[in-house]
Each structure stands twice: as C-alpha cells, then as structure tokens.
Chain A
C-alpha cells in the first residue's frame, strides 16, 4: 500500500523517526528544559511562584564552597584516574596483542571488570577497605606491614586515593580493549622492516606503536574522561562523598541539590555546568576524530 508510494528518502526518514523522537524526548528536550530550570527560581517548596532569575543560580553555585570543592574533586579524580588507566591499559593491550597462552581466559578476565556494575563494585571494595575486618587491613596488619589498621575511606586525603584505586582497577581493562583494536590495525610488515633495520623493542614502541596508536589513545582518553567526569555511583556507594566532602563529585553534589534539598534551580545550574564541560571534551573528541579521518 503506502510502501509503494513512499520515496526512498521518505522511507529512510520514516524508519529513523521513532528512535529520533525517543532520543530527543529523553535526552535533548530534558537537557534543554534543565537549562531553563537553571535560569529560574523553580522549587517544589515554593510551588507555583516561578520567575526568570538570569544567572543568579550560577553565581550562587560558584559562591558555594561545597560546589567548588566538588568541581575540583571531579577534575582531580578525572585527571589522575584517566592518565593511570591509560598507562595500565597500554601495558595490558601490548601484552594482549601478542600470541598469548589461554586467550579465552585472558579475554574473560579483562572483560570482567567492565561488566561489573559500578555501584556493586563500590560495595565490594567498601568491604575490602573495611578498617576492622576488611581484606586489606587483615593482610597488612597480620603480616606486619602496618602496625595499625588503616582507615582507607575515612581519612583525608587517603579516601580520594582509595576511590581512585577502585576506578582504575575497574576501567583500565576497558581502556586496554579500545587500545587493542588500535594495535591490531598496525600492519605487521612495519615491525618486520624495523626488525631488519635492527630496531629494538623501545625504538619500535616509540617510533611505530605509539605514533600509529595516537588516534586510539586520544579516543580512549576523551571517552574515559567524559565518563569519569560524571562519576556518580562510585562515591555514592563507596563513601557517600565523605569524609567531609573529600570524595564528593560534581554529580553527587548535583544529585543532593535535587533530591536531598529539593533545590531544582541551583541543582540545574550544576547540571548545566557539568554538561558544558563534558560537551567541550566531546567537541574536542569529534574534532580529533575528524582530523584523523581526513
């Protein structure tokens, strides 16, 4: 019936339309509305009285010390974890790229941390870090490496480093998978040629592997940093942002503005600030992606 009458392009658009509507409805419009909320004095407490307040919520947030420290926590957390994940991921990828023993087991092992739910992983590590009965203190104290039980999640700045450890443990292997695909596209004859010229391992790593891997590295870096910058359930389930806000990320701070204090106006300002920073990273990623494609 109508199928015969529809032109090819019209049919193509018709097939995309349902998904387009849902994605716009769930991601695009809500974000736009959140931007609107951030410029208003919306609140469940105040009820209907609602007006345009310009950038007042943004000024309020930047004047808020807790907001500033959450922003700094997120930047610090992202910077450190992503760089270390890249390093470990690179080592892992280079090794995985060789013909190795037990490839199936190795793949399953590397994939496992990716598949773990972040929130439940945080719970597991909270138990490992438990000062009185956790695995780490049990080993350290009974073997005599530490005289006292270490309060991994309860001391500043150790709490932040403990949280970073969990993140790095979980995502280094995903980084390795992205880098591995990049490694596999490097032609083998390049190495053979270098071999004939007598190039050693480090030379080949510096002159062949790293330069040709740059696109994958940039992609992995930006992809991971966008993700790390919105970390939410890790601090939520590991430390609740404590002690004294030392592990509170921007997402956790924003969540509390919304659902603890019911401040949807200042909370939305936090959302928009995070959104702008993440999109700036994303734009950088697309730009790199495009330059590499040319």
Chain B
C-alpha cells in the first residue's frame, strides 16, 4: 500500500500465487513444532518409538490424554496456572490502572520521572531479585503460597500494564473527563465509569499480555512454588523429563494441553494484543 511499483506489479496472478505460497510457508514454519507434538500426542507408544519413523499415527488414540488428565498431576498444574495468572492479572490491572490514570491525567511533579522509573524497574532481571525474594518470602511464609507469587508478579508485570494503559488513557479527549467532573463525578468514579470503559482495547490488551506473561513465567514460579502440588503448568511440565526416563507421549500431550489456552487467547485477540505490544514502541 505504501509502495506503488509493487502494488502495480503484484496485480499479476503469479504474484498472488506467490503471496499465498509465502503465507503457507510462514504457517508451516511457525506451526510445524506444535503440529508435530500434537501428532505425537495421539500416537501409540509403539508408533512414537518406531524406526523407520511413522509421521502420521497408524491408530490415532486418546489414551495419552486420558493418562495425562486422570493419571498425572498435569490437571493440578493447569489449575494452579489458572489461579496464579487470573489473580495476578486482576491485581496488576487494579494497581496499574490507578497509577496509569494518575500519570496520564493528573499533574504533579515527578510523574515524568515515575514513568521512566517504572520502565527501568521492568528491565531488572529476575536473577537479581530471586535470592532476596527467596530469603524474605521464606521468612514471611510466602514460599509455596499463591499470595507470594501474586505479589511478586504484580511487581514484575505492573510496569508493562501501566505503560499500555497510560498510552490508551492519553487518547481519550479531555472534554469527556471535564464534563464528568461537572456532573460531580469524583476521580475514582471517572476512572471506573469513563476512562476504563473508553479504553476497552487497552484494558483487554493489558489483561491478555499480563495473563500470557504470567502463564509463561518460569524463573519465579520455579523458585517460589517449589512444592510439587503447587507448581504451575510451565514449571511442572518442564521438570517432567527426568534424568533417565522421558515418557515423550505424556510430555508432548501435557505440553499441547498447556499451550491451548494461550494459543486460543492470542488467536482470538490478536489485534488487541499486537496493539498493546506495540503501544510503547510507537511513542
């Protein structure tokens, strides 16, 4: 669209075919690993460990799913992930929308500094906070405790959410806010009744990005939830392959199951997520 010669030449059917081929190439490139573990997950153990290899399952089976869902802790791991990610997302959105509204709309000294400060904080590597958090949380009884990891994730992921939300808040015309004020709306009511509803794409983007990132987070989840029953899906599955035994039929099945929620969310809300991810980069 920005390019005149190409739009002219691309009109040819040859180009159109090439474009479809390119899309096909990208789809294969980015989806073949997940396709392969899906195929593995519906194979019989004999098919998985066969040579010459069987690419497509001879006798598709769901017994691996049965084994994983009813005979392993994976169900529990996924439940843990849902609890931790949901609570963390709610907590992050709560704190970062208050702060984001303030930084976007209320004039006070140091708010420019605050935005940079939060941005800098979000760049702190996990390795530098892990030893102290471990020592402190152990004393406070926050290890192997959902509350502990939710607090940690709130600190870790609020900055990105603040960055996205304040970008969206700024795009809302000041007049709308002014008229709300004239109608006697207080600050918090303005935030709740006007700013958040008008920034729905931003709120969706921030929630999904935080949800996905907390679902995927590994380092803190590994250290702060070390008890087997409390492990999140990512950590639980990654620790599954032991030193000598690799039940790949179960591992691939569990991995596939743990990825589905994330995949569904990112496919359904692709526009909002991309909008949120690039909100900071545009400025």
> Measuring CB to CB, which residues of chain A are less than 8 angstroms from any residue of chain B?
3, 8-13, 15-16, 18-20, 22-31, 33-34, 37, 95, 97-102, 104-128, 130, 132-133, 135, 138, 142, 169, 173-174, 177-178, 180-182, 185-186, 188, 191-192, 195, 201, 216, 219-220, 226, 229-230, 232-233, 236-237, 250-251, 254-255, 258-259, 264, 267-268, 270-272, 274-275, 278-279, 282, 286
**For A107, A130, A181, A216, which residue has the most chain B Cβ atoms within 10 angstroms?**
A181
Distance between Cα atoms of A115 and B179 in the complex (Å): 40
B131 interfacial by beta-carbon distance below 8 Å? yes
Distance between Cα atoms of A25 and B152 in the complex (Å): 9
Task: Provide the residues of chain A in CB contact with B26, threshold 8 Å.
Answer: 106, 109-110
B30 interfacial by beta-carbon distance below 8 Å? yes
Task: Provide the residues of chain A in CB contact with B229, threshold 8 Å.
Answer: none
Task: Provide the residues of chain B in CB contact with A278, threshold 8 Å.
Answer: 123, 125
B171 interfacial by beta-carbon distance below 8 Å? no
Q: A34: which of B19, B123, B129 is its contact (CB, 8 Å)?
A: B129
CB distance from B158 to the nearest CB of A (A): 5
27 A/B residue pairs, CB under 8 Å, sorted by A: A9-B107, A9-B108, A15-B187, A20-B99, A22-B154, A97-B2, A98-B1, A101-B16, A108-B270, A111-B273, A120-B237, A120-B255, A120-B258, A124-B33, A124-B34, A135-B32, A173-B30, A201-B5, A230-B125, A230-B126, A250-B127, A255-B219, A258-B130, A268-B131, A274-B127, A275-B124, A278-B125
18 new A-B pairs (CB below 8 Å) besides A108-B266, A124-B255, A264-B131? Answer: A28-B124, A30-B131, A101-B20, A106-B26, A109-B31, A112-B31, A114-B266, A115-B212, A119-B216, A123-B251, A177-B274, A188-B2, A191-B2, A201-B5, A230-B125, A233-B234, A251-B126, A274-B128
Task: Provide the residues of chain A in CB contact with B151, threshold 8 Å.
Answer: 22, 26
Task: Provide the residues of chain B in CB contact with A100, threshold 8 Å.
Answer: 19, 23
Knowing A37-B132, A109-B27 are in contact, say whether A27-B155 is a contact too (CB < 8 A).
Answer: yes
Knowing A23-B159, A195-B5, A271-B127 are in contact, say whether A185-B282 is a contact too (CB < 8 A).
Answer: yes
Task: Provide the residues of chain B in CB contact with A233, threshold 8 Å.
Answer: 218-219, 234, 238
Distance between Cα atoms of A30 and B109 in the complex (Å): 27
Task: Provide the residues of chain B in CB contact with A26, threshold 8 Å.
Answer: 129, 133, 151-152, 154-156
Task: Provide the residues of chain A in CB contact with B16, threshold 8 Å.
Answer: 101
Q: B262: which of A28, A115, A275 is its contact (CB, 8 Å)?
A: A115
A12 in contact with B31 (CB, 8 Å): no
In order of increasing CB-CB distance, the 10 nearest A-B pairs are: A26-B155, A12-B106, A9-B108, A30-B132, A15-B102, A138-B53, A117-B216, A115-B266, A233-B218, A12-B108
A105 in contact with B27 (CB, 8 Å): yes
B252 interfacial by beta-carbon distance below 8 Å? yes
Q: B53: which of A3, A127, A142, A191 is its contact (CB, 8 Å)?
A: A142
Task: Provide the residues of chain B in CB contact with A113, threshold 8 Å.
Answer: 30
Distance between Cα atoms of A282 and B121 in the complex (Å): 10
Distance between Cα atoms of A3 and B191 in the complex (Å): 15
Choose the segment among B65-73, B110-118, B198-206 that binds chain A (4+ C-beta atoms closer than 8 Å): B110-118
Distance between Cα atoms of A272 and B125 in the complex (Å): 10
Q: B259: which of A117, A126, A174 is its contact (CB, 8 Å)?
A: A117
Task: Provide the residues of chain A in CB contact with B107, threshold 8 Å.
Answer: 8-9, 12
B55 interfacial by beta-carbon distance below 8 Å? yes
Knowing A9-B106, A9-B108 are in contact, say whether A18-B27 is a contact too (CB < 8 A).
Answer: no
A112 in contact with B266 (CB, 8 Å): yes
